[in-house]
Amino acid sequence: GAVVSQHPSWVICKSGTSVKIECRSLDFQATTMFWYRQFPKQSLMLMATSNEGSKATYEQGVEKDKFLINHASLTLSTLTVTSAHPEDSSFYICSAKRGVGGSPATQYFGPGTRLLVL
């Protein structure tokens, strides 16, 4: 149990276009999902916390108008990178939290989406 999927697994786009990445919890409901970004040979950095039915909470330095997050259901959160530029090229990873409260160990990570902006 506790499977999280992401789609697409990789995407290449032209500079200036928008890209949508989906994160789904397949066998559990997730009121909270998280979006991370990982540059090559770097650690995972939390971008934002997505709560079902409410606005996302962004970490300091992350532009909310550039990285649009929608958590419309208990099993789906989407991240849209608007007007993507080459510096947005990265590995985007989501996680979904099973249950409310409790340990951070109940966050399950997706397989990631590699974005390359040309």
The binding site for another protein (CB under 8 A) comprises 4, 6, 32, 34, 42-46, 49, 93, 95, 97, 101, 103-105, 107-112, 114
Q: Which is nearer to another protein, 3 or 83 (CB)?
A: 3
Q: Which is nearer to another protein, 33 or 81 (CB)?
A: 33
Beta-bridged to residue 20, according to DSSP, are 80
Q: How many alpha carbons lie under 13 Å from residue 81 in its C-beta half-sphere?
A: 28
Residue 56's CB: how many other CB atoms inside 10 A?
Answer: 21
d(C-alpha 40, C-alpha 44), whole Å: 10
Q: Which is nearer to another protein, 20 or 114 (CB)?
A: 114
Q: Least CB distance from residue 49 to another protein, whole Å? A: 7
